[in-house]
Structure 1
Amino acid sequence: MNTNPKSNLPETFRAEMARLIRCGFKLLPLGGGTDGKSPLIAKWAQENLTFKRILGPMHRRGIAMYGIRLADLVVVDCDIDDPALVAKMEARFGSSPVHVKSPRGVHLYYRLQGKPPNLRAEGFPVDLKTGPNAYVAGPHSVRPDGGLYWPLKGVLGIDALPALKTQTGALVAPVSPSAPILKGVRHEELVKFALKMVAHVASVEELKTDLRRLRDGLCENPESMPDSELSEIASWAWRRRLENRIFHCRMSEFRVHRQALDLLRGITGQEDALALYTRLVDLHGHTPGKAFPLSHRAMKEAGHTSLSRERFMTARRLLQRLGLLQLMSKHRAGAKLQTFALAMPLVDLPEIGKIARSEK
């Protein structure tokens, strides 16, 4: 007999929670407070909660948000979405196989070993969360305001977590006024920050507040950058969000041009070529004209293709013949990789169809 409560929570979400419990992680229900990050059970730290007790409060409130308790774990919680900051953390603490995108930044998971440092005191916008009374929102959680916690790299419970390296002394310079964003590039850098943060704030005013914090903490001569400039950046980014013109990484859609489907229709090898083309649009289509290397080995190791090398190369050549893939630079041994770019053909559909079929 199943004793778990019936739930309106997505089956995949509940299955992920059950999997984590089987892997030995201790969970707790979240959803309280204005941001949904407060536990829904009092005195949770003194209890080993069953799956039923975790799901019950979440079901009653209709909130798909849970926490992972950190008695034996440590999470490096980067408070801003900055790949350079993540790289600095991994340079200091070792590479983490599990990254989870939070509404503001990234969570890096490790096993606890030793006493973690206070990174806030060093000037980093980073918290190290650990201990029996600590927790972070788990992967696939959704805050009441729509903020997501989405897996970027690895899978908890499958990828073995390394111990956090706790050598004394910082290995990298902290983010501080001693290494500020220079005056000549402040506007451009804050525009980038705004585009990263706009999907995770509740209003344009909250975005302005975040930009002021970044200006005051990271920019050279912040007093010479007026609030009005920050308001213009925030308003511009907010308009792009309302117009659905923000690239949201994995939580987004992308378009496949129908002409590409028409070009491939009826051609031998169309399934492989379409699979490769769709994956390339997924990875690179959000940046028109972007040049990228295209290696079967790298694609396979990253899990982007299951094709054999022969089928991969055949599909690549077909996309090139159809004009959907353009060679941008040739390989130069030891110096430069061969690069490609996505494209659309400039000739009529019947003509390019004849070209492709004549070369079969």
Structure 2
Amino acid sequence: MKALRVSTLPDPIRSEMARLKGAGLHLLPLGGGADGKAPLIRAWAGPSLTLGRILAPMHRTGSQAYGVRLDGLAVIDCDSDDPALVAQMEARFGKSPVHVKTPRGRHLYYRAGGTATNLRSEGLPVDIKTGVRSYVVGPLSIRRDGGFYTPAKGVLGKDALPFLRGATPPKVAPILSGHRHVELVKEAMRMVELVDSAEELQANLAGIRDDWCADPATMPDSELRDLAGWAWKCRLENRIYRGRDSAFPIHRLALDALRGQANGADATALLVTLMDQHGHTPGKRFPLNFAAMRAAGLINLSTPRLRAARRTLERAGLLRLTSNHRAGSKCQTYALTRPHPGASEAENIAPLTSATPRKVQGKAGGRG
């Protein structure tokens, strides 16, 4: 006789889910992903799921968390439960009769109106989530890490919700077919740090596709999944560009090639400066005017030391000459190159030998 699985879903959560379903809210089972907040089923954004289809994967996986789909709803998701922040949000968007305390902040519920405002761009630790492809963790849910979603004010599904006041008016013109992918890439990079998973990002992109893109049926979910996965990978690899508040990679092979050189520290400083200024565009050609770099405060080494550092980068295969100097018409230009195992001598510069006069070597690279 087969043993029955013991349900780990507490009665209060099951009863709350049944009540919310009866009140007309759309729910979905959560418990996937590293944080346990990803949906347990793929096709959750279509027609409303029955209570049985929601509870089954939760029983199967031992999950005690569910999501409230924001079809016709909007939630102000505060990362902090600071009373001053909550008061600021309600002063701006209207009083919410339903609050749920999250493990680190608070959810304020409203009826949807317009499109969400990007409060992160204003420096506020707040997201506004809304739309058929969005959801928040529901009241009484318990995450895998023990985080609890506590009803703090009112009763969801019972208290009448006001419209979200002051939201950005919806767009009128659709995104045309020839511009859809580019626009969704921009939206993905704007939203990727505001969501909790690649699946949530894909769901948000699907909402934009369905609501604002021309001919949404011709843009498959697989394209959105690939786009969301790419954006999420950029986030995980710290490749989201935020102006000066961003990072860029340095290959360890490059540092290995410079380690042990007599002027390795100078060459490393010059390489980092060039990567900062030009590394974001592969193959970019640029002049090296050391006097201008010093005047701009980019680097404070002397011009002779910078010229020697440049030659070291060339010999290490990290910098190559792309065009020669022509008096009065063209500067010498260079490009950064990717390091590779075994790289030692660059093709465009001869190694230092006793037969090569140092004065000539200094002129070979042109004026810094």
TM value normalised by structure 2:
0.43
TM value normalised by structure 1:
0.44
